[in-house]
Structure 1
């Protein structure tokens, strides 16, 4: 049930000089819309495949490099570009012309404003804006549309206030979040995302 428009390149060899013709692939889920001039490269031996989930919208001239993993319900606007090995979680939205550095992770329900660059991981539920990219508050509109409760929004906001607005070093702020914040699925997701970051957090 996918819709693919004109002049797209899907599953061609990766733009990676380490690629030596190994048998790799591209996997695309259901109800994906791929607009004009989108390019999606196949994986390398590192992951074996480039993966795109269900109900994803890739607008005109977007680029998905080798070994990327795009979860369900992601939107990439026109000319948004992913380096290799990027991971984007569900319901994230990238504005037009957004550039994401290789190996970065974009958390669930994130919105990155058009034209900005992500060179570090972007944790879930937030708006990311500016140059360099930074925390711009939580993605309240998107979260409300997806049924998050007022209590959940308040807890997410409090958690990020401790992390981004505190005078503490971020490692200390993270420990404070673990010890003081109310336990919930959203807070656990935030803490786990930050804890497992390899490129650092914006």
Structure 2
């Protein structure tokens, strides 16, 4: 299953039924889970921890050192979850001492030529379309779908179940369960189609929609809206998740549509 025209350090730990195509290089401090397929001309550097049944397409580079001038050669990792696909020429850099690792979750699809920088945390079931740029220290929640050629500024946070329009420039944090688009990027409604596909009931979708109506469409600033929601709506997991995300966003969240204010 491993082609003779590969360069694999004998200290690398390769699981059962792993396929490695020709002209691929795998360094010594690497662990690859069972059933993973690795295409030709892939480079996997020290610190890579790759899960089971992954697919890594030609030209991909995993666990190269960070593109960060503060990096001082510290021992860090790149973690790729099970059943994740990295398409052609994807780059995922390893972490720095700030976090110690870069992590891409399980069941993700990272499409061709996308870049994930150091110290990022990408959740499970995330889709990142072609040519996206994820700067350092970014957090992306589960089930996020990011349109092609989008870019996320460093230290950005994106909540779960979000849908991001292609070509977006993401300078503000994106709270969970919503769609965003336009330029500058702004709220474009809740991600109702995605939520239904993942089993959210109509009542739960209506609850989330009501929360964001208070935040983005009423004549209140975000702090006033949060106070009103806490007072008027019963606590639920989704309500509390939205409130906590917004309260822990140091740079602030995206603006509402039709508003000139952040």
TM-score, length basis structure 1: 0.98
Residue 60 of structure 1 is matched in structure 2 by 112
Residue 230 of structure 2 is matched in structure 1 by 178
Deviations 1:8-37 (A, max 9, x none): 111000000000111111011100000001
Contact 1:128 1:135 in 2 (8 A): yes
Answering whether residue 173 of structure 2 is matched by residue 121 of structure 1, we say yes
Q: Aligned equivalents of 2:158 and 2:102: distance in 1?
A: 16
Q: Which has the higher contact order (CA 8 A, sep 6+)?
A: 1
Aligned mate of 2:190, from 134, 138, 142: 138
Q: Flag structure 2 segments of 5+ consecutive residues without an equivalent.
A: 1-52, 255-262
Q: Aligned equivalents of 1:157 and 1:111: distance in 2?
A: 15
Deviations 1:116-171 (A, max 9, x none): 11111100000001111100000010000000000000000000000011211211
Note the 1:29-48 alignment, pairs <5 A. 29-48=81-100
Residue 71 of structure 1 is matched in structure 2 by 123
Answering whether residue 163 of structure 2 is matched by residue 111 of structure 1, we say yes
Residue 55 of structure 2 is matched in structure 1 by 3
Higher-Rg structure is 2
Q: Secondary structure at the match of 1:79?
A: coil
| Cα distance, 1:183 vs structure 2 | 2.0
Q: How many residues align?
A: 202
Answering whether residue 64 of structure 2 is matched by residue 12 of structure 1, we say yes
Contact 1:91 1:109 in 2 (8 A): yes
- Structure 1 residue ranges (4+ consecutive) displaced by more than 6 angstroms after TM superposition: none
Residue 187 of structure 1 is matched in structure 2 by 239
Answering whether residue 111 of structure 2 is matched by residue 96 of structure 1, we say no
